[in-house]
Structure formats: structure tokens, C-alpha cells
Amino acid sequence: MRIIKFLFIKEFKQIFRNRAILAVIMVMPVIQLIILPLAANFEIKNINLAVVDNDRSDYSRDLINQVIASGYFKLRSYNDSYKQAFIQIEDDNADLILEIPRGFEQDLIRENKQQLFIGVNAINGTKAGLGAGYINQIIQEYNNGLRNKLNVADSFNAIPVIEITTSNWYNPHLNYRLFMVPGILAILVTLVGGFLSALNIVKEKEAGTIEQINVSPVKKYHFILGKLIPFWILGNVVFTLGLLVGWVFYGIIPLGNIFVLYAFVCVYLLAILGFGLLISTICDTQQQAMLIMFFFVMIFVLMGGLFTPIDSMPDWAKTASKFNPISYFIDVMRMVIIKGSGFKDISKHILIILGFAIVLNTAAVINYRKTS
Amino acid sequence: MSKKVISCKGLTKRFGDFTAVDSITFDVDKGEIFGFLGANGAGKTTAMRMLCGLSNPTSGEATIAGFDVYKETEKIKKSIGYMSQKFSLYDDLTVQENITFFAGIYGLSDKAIKENSAALLKQLGMEDQANKRVGSLPLGWKQKLAFSTAIIHKPEIVFLDEPTGGVDPVTRRQFWDLIYEASGNGITIFVTTHYMDEAEYCNRVSIMVDGRVEALDTPTNLKKQFGLATMDEVFYHLAREAKRGE
Amino acid sequence: MKQFLTFVKKEFLHVLRDKKTLFILFGMPIVQILIFGFALTNEVKNSNIVVVDYAKDIASQEIISKIDASRYFEITKSLAGSATLEAAFKTGEIKMAIVFPEGFNNQLLHENKAQIQVIADASDPNTATTLTNYVSSIINDYQAQLNETNPVPYQIKPEVKMLYNPQLKGAPNFVPGVMALILMLVCVMMTAISIVKEKEMGTMEILLVSPFKPIMIILSKAVPYLLLSMVNVITILLLSVFVLDLPIAGSILLLFAESTLFIITCLTLGIFISIKTDSMQTAMLISLLGMLLPTLLFSGFMFPIENMPLPLQWFSNIVPSKWYYIIVKNVMIKGLGFSYVWKETLILFGITIFLLIISLRSFKIRLA
């Protein structure tokens, strides 16, 4: 125990002495948490619209106005032909084409039926899907309004109508930042913990100081624990800072019990630090450790459900994400902060992460060889 | 007959087909300054790593301070000090912090740490530098500090791996004064070096060639045995027969 | 020239010796392409939902079986009441709940009007919106089916066509992004590190006292990474054509020329960083945090730039990968020619020249 105390003091002194590292640990996550949610905004608004109005009637104008009034679309250009509008798509000046055919108003009244053509730039699938969804909805509404206006209320009512009432729980204003901030904080805590621990033992290897430790009575688990505990405390500090930033800048206050969050973070940090230490024991240079850590973190982050839902992934990817610690962390953050989930709701997550922590740290201790 | 603190018999280390250390046998007495010489690649460092418990021998036997190198490595580690050719104190910690840290991990009590480190600083005349970062000290100071730190827990044996590499002659002289002082306090010194004048300071010297100990005696006897005037010539005489290159 | 080749050969040996690093450099693009191509789709599907059916009549059952048949939804269970609903949302078991009121069919037949309540877990706003849209269209279909005999008057039917990417796959968006990301990583980070490494180890001094021109030494460091990056571009393109079924719509030659230009931009950036920094760790941090993160954020392949606050939008204009991303998207996916990308090409070219001039400047100052 006494040995660990000395290792512990040494580690803390080294961290606090290196201004650059300290800045990276404390300041970078705060700045990133302030800026990233502003940049990482997938709220689909401002869809650029190119209109081809072949009819130029009152009806077509009403329809266009209604589309613009929805707030989702920005009218970028009126075009004479579909071909002309398509060039707007090619130039990235437009995301969506709305083409109203000639005789739109006349045919609608005469034949009771009319077609509209919508072309969406679908390179970005989310934007395309949501854009098409929005415009369909608006056209539907316009259609209903039109029917009422044309005084067909009687005959219309003879037809059964199913009304859909929607309620958006937990985030009624569909605030995208409420969704992103907890996820981004999870990533930042992971990055700080992972990189710090991955680089640390390698640094001692490069400096040669590890030899000095190896000939001393310091035991393997002493050494690993001496590294683990300081970083674990730092990780908790960074997490706390992040929660404060979320509150001050984005007004996000966890709906659930904050101690439930901390309970999870405490276990999670053990797991991610253990992973970093494991990499650290494998590598010989800081450059290698950095690259390997980056490689894994990148896969973990992309597959962790921060940007795209895990449910939509193919089965093999879903299985793979069960072995991804970050996905559990992002999940828990969102559950507790946005939905107010309690300890019972996340107990499965905690148990799994505990398993990760045990396996990874045991592997790190075994892999760290004092003798060859 | 004085007490043997290092004793090895047929100690061997193989890496695949390559035999780095080939059945070496020798004893070192308590309080002795034992010079461990050999050209680059002769197997010195490998042998030393085995004796420190950093590397497991392939065969043979050895005891350090009475402990077995196979089974009691952790006990060995408590009774030895070690200083490697690559300088290895923490650059970003101060002199005092380094001393406290190493004393601490060897299990010294707070009182002992305080007393020993005060004595150490006084001996080195570094009281004023106690709160300076080690990284800002000149190399000579660092080496002396590393040596003193390596014996802060008063080990039975201290292993020095080319401790004076790259140090100026004056500092080297001072460094050897420290070694003599430690030896006078009953600490056994096991030192590797490339400087033959340093070999002359040792009580006994062994010369390794191609993984084997080719000669072992006092410097005076060795010179007599080969009929040569200096240790430099003795070393050259033996080392040129080496088959392994650098 | 012969001297130059000797240096280049030495650099190649450095790169090829470090197996772990090499493995990551070549493995990274492959893994990324596979993840982006297969695992990440923006399409929302297989979402777990729950149905609370108080009605249990023909109409509700029919709608439920329609929803069940859709690939967007997996009905996990049918709950008896809404009391357990909250719990199911909180454990994250379900994304949406659909509630049919008692006497649903009766209301529909006799009052010609019935209500369905859709509750979405809006902690993920986009998924919530998308799922709500899906449910609406399924119910609308059902309604149209009911009314088949008696068509609704004045019906406007929108016909939607998804251009370039009819199946809304992730690949067309991500492949150009991954190319920008990988080239940035390999060229900027690795070049910067390899030059700074020589500085740290002191071998730079030895090279500088040799009769070889210093600028040539720097250039010779860039050559292996230029070739390595070309290999990576080819790998990515092969994977995307043969594994992801994403053909190159435009001219391959143009794509290669533009890629080479971008690689050179990145190399000059790497050289610039290496001239300005003295330690490997600093070089690494600058290239990771200062280059990779902006590439991920501001090239536009993850998040739409037009959604960002104005200062960030302005900032995105100096990120080279943004322009490269636009070029690749236009040439590879849309199949456009040079006349559509000359502006972006010119900007990249300008950035490269600018970086080259300031690097040469500060290099000379350092030597003087």
C-alpha cells in the first residue's frame, strides 16, 4: 500500500508539472465540448429548394408558399425546366427539386388527381430521407386544406379518417444538442483516459525509467495501480468539467440521478484506462501507441452510435458493437441525462463494463513483463 | 573466508540459436568492487540483467545475497540497487522528489527517507539543488545523483551498467570516490565499464569474450599472468580473439 | 538526382521497417471503408417498438400486422397498459410506442374518425422524426386501402425520386470523406512526425552538414508518403467499386489528378508543421487535434456545414479537405467533369502554394 502511495504521488507530480499535457487534459475537452455540438448539428433545416413551376397558377404559388413557410426549406431558385434545376443540384446550390406540372390547377379540379415530382440529392441519406418526409407531410397538409377550401367537407367526411397524434417524449422540441452533448462528452472522457494511459508506460519505456522500476521491489500490480488511480481521478475531474460545460453553455441538467452517472463513469474509466495500459504494454514507442490507440478509438467512436443508430446496422456490426465499451457509455449518458433512467435501468450496462474492466486490466498486468 | 554475495555456476542464456551468455561461473565477496569487462556484444548486459532478476536464465544456477535467481527474484530486488547506462531518474521531477520516490518504493519509513536523503544531499553537496528539476542538471551531477539514489535503501549489492559513459574525467574521479565510500560501508559493487583506468580501481576484474568469462583475477595478477604492462593491453589481447562482431 | 534517390531509398526503409505503424497505415483505410460502407447507414431500420392495443379489433390488428411487416420496425412485445411504457423507454428497449384507443374500429366505421397515438423517444430527434414519418405513411396507406372504392377528391400525389443514391446507402457520402481523412492522416501526421523525429534524434544535424541541399532532404522525406498515399487511394477506390458496389461515375484520370494535388497539399502542410515544431509529441498533437478533427467536422461529410454558426462556416473554408471532399463527391458520385470543379481545384492549388511559400521562408530563417 505504501509503495502505491509513492507511485501515486510521483504520477500526480509529473502530470501537474507538464503544462502542455495538463492543458490537453483539462482545456481541450472543455473547448471541444463548447464547439463540437455547434458544429455537429444534424438538425435538418435549411434544405435548399429549387422550384420548377410549370403552372404558375394560384394553386402552385400557394403550395410553394406553404413549403417555404414550414421553416424546413429555403427557396434558392425558380427554374424554367427540370434540366435547369438539376444543374443546381450538381452545383450543390440545391438539395431538393420540386416540380409542379403544367395544368396543375386545372387538372386537379377536372380530374380530381394530380402528380408532383420531387427529386432529392440523396448522397447524404439522412438529409434526403428527412427532406422527402417533410415535403410529403407539407403536401399532405396542403391537400387537406385544399379539400376544405373547395367545400367538399360533406363527401370528405363520409370517408373514414385516421388521425395520428404524435408526442415526442423526453425532447419535445427535438433539440439536437440535447442529443449530442452527452454523447460527445462520453467520447471526450474516453479520449482523455485512453490516450493518457496508452502513452504513459511507453513514455517510461522510452525514457528508460521503467528499467529502474523493474529492478525495484515494485510489483506488477503496484505499478499498474499506481498508473491507474491518478488517471482515474483525472477522468472523473474531466467528466465533472464536462457536465458543468453542458449546464452552463447548453442548459443541460441531467434528468436522472447524477450519482447513477458517476457510478457508471467510475467503472467505465477503469475499463478504458485498462485498455490504454494494455496498448501501452504492447508498444515500444509513443508514436506506435498513439497510432494504435487512434485506430481503435476511431472504430469505437464510429460504431458507438454517436452519429448513426446501432439498430440500423447489419447483424455482424450489431454483434461487434457489443464488444465496444464506448457504445455502452454513450447509451448510459443519453438514458440518464435525457430520459432520467435510474440505477436499475442501467444495471446491465454497468455489469458488462465491469466485465470489460476486469478482463482488460488483468490482461494489462499479465502483459506488462518485468522479466523477459 | 568472507561471505559470498554473488555466486553463479554455469549460468547460461540463449535466444533461439544464439547463446548470449555461455555457462559463466564466478563468486563475488561482500564489500568487493568487482569489475565486469567485455567488448560490446560480449554478453555483459545480458548477464547483468539475469543477476538483477530482469531476465530469466536458460540454465545454470545463481544466488544473489543468498536468494535464488529463479524463485526469489522479488527478494533479490529488495537487496540490490541498479543504475543503467541509460540515465534513468525522472527528468520532470526535482532532485528531492526523485530521492523520495525511489526511497519510498524500496519501502523506507518516512523518518528514514528524511534522514537518508538529507545525508545524501550533503554528501553530494547538492543541498541547494534539492528543488531543481533533474532535467536541468549537468550530466555529471545526474550520474552521481543516480548512483546515490540507487543505494539509498542501503542494498547489499549495487549493479552499475557503464555508469560513467560520456562523463568528464574530473566527474569520473568523483564518481569513483562515491563508489569507494559505498564499498567502505559494506556495499558490494558490481560494475561494467569500457574505461580501462577504471578497471584498475577494481578489487577483482573479469573479462568476458563471446559470452564466456575468459579471465578473472585482481588487475595486478592479470597483468602478471599475461605478461603485459597495463589492463588496456590485457583487454585488447583477449578481446581481439572475439568471433562476434559488434 | 542520384543523391536524391539515395535519400528517398533511406526514407522508404524507415517507413517499411516499422511493421506496426505500417500495418496501421494500410489497415486503417480498409477498416474504415468497410465500417462506413457496411455498418453505418443513415437509414433508420429495425427499430424496436411496442404496440399498446386497447382496441384489439380488426382495424387495429390489420394496422399492426402492416407495421410488423415493414422492415423499419420490430415489434418487441404488446403491452397491456401504458404504465409499463415509461419503464420500457427508460431501459432503452423501445424507440416508439403506438397506442390504439378502445373501440378504434367502431369509431372509424361509425364516426368516420379515429385516433392513433404515436409516442416517440425523441432523445434522438432525427430517429424520432424518421420513425414518425414511417408510421404515418403506413397508416396513410392503410387508409387509402380502406377508401379504394371511394377515392378521395382532389388528390395530390407526390412522386419522389432519390438521385444518385436511391437506396439511401451510407457509402456515397462516406467514401469521399474517408479518402480525405486517410490522406490527411498519412500525409500530414506521418510526414510531420518523420521529419521532427530526425530533429529529436539529432540525425538532422548530420544530414544538414552533408553536401546535399537541405530542401532536398525535406522533399525526399515526402516522397515515400506520396507513394504510400497513392496506394491508399487505389485501395479505397478498388474497395468501393468491388466491395461496396459504388462505381466511379466520372473520369478516373481526373480523380487521380485531383487526389495527387490534395496529397501534395497535405504533404506541404506536414512539412510546415515539422518546421515549426521541435518535439514529436507536439507534432503529433497538432496534426491529430489541429488537422484530423477539423477534417472530420468541417469537410461536411459528417455534419452539414450550412447548419453551423457563421464563424464556423467561415472557418471551414480554410480546411483543405472540405474542397477535396466536394471535388471527389462531384467527380466520383455525380460524374461531373472538370468544368464543375475548377473553382475548388484552384482553391486547393492556392492553399498549397501559400503553404509552400511560408514553409520555405521559415525554413530559410531557421537555417540562417
- Asked if residue A162 belongs to a domain, the reply is no
- Determine the structural domain holding residue B91 and report its residue range: 4-239
Residue with cell 420496425: C73
- Asked if residue C161 belongs to a domain, the reply is no
Q: Is B147 on the interface with A (CB under 8 A)?
A: no
- Work out whether strand B18-29 and strand C47-53 pair parallel, antiparallel, or are unpaired: unpaired
pLDDT in tens, A282-336: 888 887 888 888 888 888 888 888 877 787 788 888 888 889 999 999 989 988 9
A187 and A279 both lie in a single domain: yes
Q: Quick one: which H or E segment has residue B98?
A: helix B95-105
E strands, chain C, are 47-53, 73-79, 96-100, 113-121, 155-163
- Alpha carbon C118 to its chain centroid, in Å, reads 32
In order of A306, C3, C208, C269, C363, the CA distances from C216 in angstroms are: 45, 9, 10, 17, 12
pLDDT of residue B1: 45
A230 and A109 both lie in a single domain: no
d(CA A200, CA A234): 14
C275 and C315 both lie in a single domain: yes
Among C residues 20-79, those touching chain A with beta carbons less than 8 Å apart: 20-21, 24-25, 27-28, 31-32, 35-36, 38-48
> In whole numbers, what is the pLDDT of chain C averaged over residues?
82
Residue with cell 431538393: A96
> What single letter denotes the amino acid at residue C220?
S
Longest dimension (CA), chain C: 98
- Determine the structural domain holding residue A98 and report its residue range: 47-157
DSSP letter string over B163-205? TTTT--HHHHHHHHHHHHHHHHTT-EEEEE-S-HHHHHHSSEE
pLDDT of residue C210: 67
Of B83, B88, B101, the CB nearest to A10: B101
pLDDT of residue C82: 61
pLDDT bracket for residue C29 (50, 70, 90): confident
Of the residues A290, A327, A329, A352, the best mutation for testing chain C's interface (the one with the most C CB atoms within 10 Å of its CB) is A290
d(CA C298, CA A74): 22
In order of A2, B36, B100, B102, B110, the CA distances from B118 in angstroms are: 21, 32, 11, 14, 12
d(CA A272, CA A36): 22
DSSP letter string over C265-308? HHHHHHHHHHHH--SHHHHHHIIIIIIIHHHHHHSSSSS-GGGS
Q: Shortest Cα distance from A325 to chain B (angstroms)?
A: 34
> What single letter denotes the amino acid at residue A95?
D
C-alpha neighbours within 13 Å on the C-beta side of residue A275: 28
Q: Does residue A352 contact residue A331 with C-beta atoms inside 8 Å?
A: no
> What single letter denotes the amino acid at residue B86?
K
CB-CB under 8 Å, C91 with A133: no
- Asked if residue B245 belongs to a domain, the reply is no
The cell numbers describing C129, all together, are 422524426
d(CA C183, CA C179): 6
Q: Is B240 on the interface with A (CB under 8 A)?
A: no
pLDDT in tens, B153-192: 889 999 998 888 778 888 888 889 999 999 988 899 999 8
d(CA A360, CA A364): 6
Asked if residue A267 has pLDDT above 90, the reply is yes
A247 and A314 both lie in a single domain: yes
Q: What is the mean pLDDT of residues C7-36?
A: 79
**How many structural domains comprise chain C?**
2
A54 and A32 both lie in a single domain: no
- Asked if residue C154 belongs to a domain, the reply is no
Which residues of chain B lie closer than 8 angstroms to A18, CB-CB?
Answer: 92
d(CA C79, CA A319): 27
A290 and A359 both lie in a single domain: yes
Please, is A200 exposed, middle or buried when counting C-beta atoms within 10 Å of its C-beta (0-12, 13-18, 19+)? Answer: buried
Which domain CATH number covers B149?
Answer: 3.40.50.300
C133 and C174 both lie in a single domain: no
CB-CB under 8 Å, A213 with B93: no
Residues in chain B: 246
Of C21, C41, C307, the CB nearest to A45: C307
C117 φ, ψ (degrees, to nearest 5):
-100, 130
A142 and A247 both lie in a single domain: no
Angle C229-C230-C233 from CA coordinates, rounded to 5°? 85
pLDDT of residue C324: 93
- Work out whether strand B212-217 and strand C47-53 pair parallel, antiparallel, or are unpaired: unpaired
Cross-strand partners of A287: none
- Asked if residue A166 belongs to a domain, the reply is no
C108 and C29 both lie in a single domain: no
pLDDT in tens, B11-67: 999 888 888 888 899 999 988 999 998 888 888 888 888 888 888 889 999 999 888
Judged by DSSP in three states, B244 sits in coil
Of the residues C62, C124, C291, C330, the best mutation for testing chain A's interface (the one with the most A CB atoms within 10 Å of its CB) is C124
Q: Shortest Cα distance from B234 to chain A (angstroms)?
A: 32
Asked if residue C350 has pLDDT above 90, the reply is yes
Q: Does residue A223 contact residue A7 with C-beta atoms inside 8 Å?
A: yes
- Asked if residue B244 belongs to a domain, the reply is no
Please, is B20 exposed, middle or buried when counting C-beta atoms within 10 Å of its C-beta (0-12, 13-18, 19+)? Answer: buried
CB-CB under 8 Å, C41 with A308: yes
Asked if residue C68 has pLDDT above 60, the reply is yes
- Asked if residue A341 belongs to a domain, the reply is yes
Phi-psi region of B113 (alpha: psi -120 to 50; beta: other; left: phi over 0): alpha
- Asked if residue B233 belongs to a domain, the reply is yes
Which residues of chain A lie closer than 8 angstroms to C143, CB-CB?
Answer: 160-162
Asked if residue C70 has pLDDT above 60, the reply is yes
A13 and A64 both lie in a single domain: no
Please give the share of chain A, as a percent, with pLDDT higher than 90.
19
Q: Is B92 on the interface with A (CB under 8 A)?
A: yes
- Determine the structural domain holding residue C323 and report its residue range: 8-40+169-367
pLDDT of residue B246: 44
d(CA A239, CA A222): 26
A150 and A226 both lie in a single domain: no
- Asked if residue C187 belongs to a domain, the reply is yes
CB-CB under 8 Å, C27 with A163: no
> In whole numbers, what is the pLDDT of chain A averaged over residues?
84
pLDDT in tens, B117-150: 999 899 888 888 889 888 888 888 888 898 988 8
- Asked if residue C156 belongs to a domain, the reply is no
Of C113, C146, C179, which closes a domain?
A: C146
Q: Among candidates B184, B188, B186, B163, which has minimal Cα distance to B174?
A: B163
- Asked if residue A285 belongs to a domain, the reply is yes
- Work out whether strand B212-217 and strand B204-209 pair parallel, antiparallel, or are unpaired: antiparallel
Q: Shortest Cα distance from B233 to chain A (angstroms)?
A: 34
CB-CB under 8 Å, A208 with B87: yes
Asked if residue C364 has pLDDT above 70, the reply is no
A239 and A333 both lie in a single domain: yes
A226 and A334 both lie in a single domain: yes
- Asked if residue C328 belongs to a domain, the reply is yes
Residue with cell 460527445: A184
d(CA C284, CA A79): 50
Of C99, C115, C146, which closes a domain?
A: C146
pLDDT of residue A268: 95
> What single letter denotes the amino acid at residue C337?
G
- Asked if residue B164 belongs to a domain, the reply is yes
Q: Among candidates B75, B76, B29, B2, which has minimal Cα distance to B188?
A: B29
d(CA B103, CA B96): 10
pLDDT in tens, A25-60: 788 888 888 888 887 777 777 788 999 998 888 888
pLDDT bracket for residue C106 (50, 70, 90): confident
- Asked if residue C151 belongs to a domain, the reply is no
pLDDT of residue C153: 66
Estimate the crossing angle of helix A343-367 against helix A220-250, to 10 degrees.
Answer: 140
Angle A263-A265-A271 from CA coordinates, rounded to 5°? 115
- Asked if residue C104 belongs to a domain, the reply is yes
**How many structural domains comprise chain A?**
2
**How many structural domains comprise chain B?**
1
pLDDT in tens, C134-183: 888 888 888 877 776 666 666 777 777 877 777 777 778 788 888 888 88
Dihedral angle sign, alpha carbons of residues B40, B46, B52, B55: positive
C292 and C202 both lie in a single domain: yes
- Asked if residue C123 belongs to a domain, the reply is yes
C303 and C181 both lie in a single domain: yes
Among A residues 113-172, those touching chain C with beta carbons less than 8 Å apart: 113-130, 132-133, 135-137, 139-140, 142-143, 146-147, 150, 152, 155-172
Which domain CATH number covers C134?
Answer: 3.40.1710.10
d(CA B128, CA C40): 62
Nearest residue of A to residue C289, measured between CA atoms: A28
A264 and A309 both lie in a single domain: yes
Which residues of chain C lie closer than 8 angstroms to A303, CB-CB?
Answer: 35, 39-40
- Asked if residue A163 belongs to a domain, the reply is no
C27 and C57 both lie in a single domain: no
C133 and C217 both lie in a single domain: no
8-state DSSP, C111:
I
Which residues of chain A lie closer than 8 angstroms to C36, CB-CB?
Answer: 302
> What single letter denotes the amino acid at residue C100?
F
pTM beyond 0.90? no
CB-CB under 8 Å, A209 with B92: no
C-alpha neighbours within 13 Å on the C-beta side of residue B142: 24
pLDDT bracket for residue B2 (50, 70, 90): low
Asked if residue A229 has pLDDT above 70, the reply is yes
C52 and C186 both lie in a single domain: no
Please give the share of chain A, as a percent, with pLDDT higher than 70.
97
d(CA B67, CA B69): 6
CB-CB under 8 Å, C24 with A109: no
A226 and A363 both lie in a single domain: yes
Of A139, A292, A345, the CB nearest to C24: A292
Of C39, C122, C303, the CB nearest to A314: C39
